[in-house]
Amino acid sequence: MVSAEELPQTITVKEARERLGISRVTMARLLKEGRFTVYENPLDKREKRIPESELERVKKLRLVPAVVVEQASKRAA
């Protein structure tokens, strides 16, 4: 297990899903396929966290359609 001090800058799975503009089902599939590095929240074992750098990696590898990512970015701005 990684301590809170060792964790990179992370966001919740829900935040990552919203930023990528994908559904819960799609995010669950990507997590099951191991497409993201996932950490347990040391204070709440039920919560999973994803490093923000993983979002950029996923966008670059086009694991999520670029159109979806573009639309989500526009909504966030």
Q: What local confidence, expressed as pLDDT, does residue 75 receive?
A: 61
Q: What pLDDT, in 10s, does the model give residues 21-53?
A: 889 998 999 889 888 889 988 888 889 999 988
71 with 21: CB under 8 angstroms? yes
- According to DSSP, the β-strands at 44-51 and 10-12 are antiparallel
Residue 6: which pLDDT band, with cuts at 50, 70 and 90? low
Distances (CA, A) of 42 to 37, 50, 58: 15, 13, 24
Whether the per-residue pLDDT at 76 is higher than 80: the answer is: no
Integer angstrom CA distances of residue 61 from 1, 54, 57: 28, 10, 6
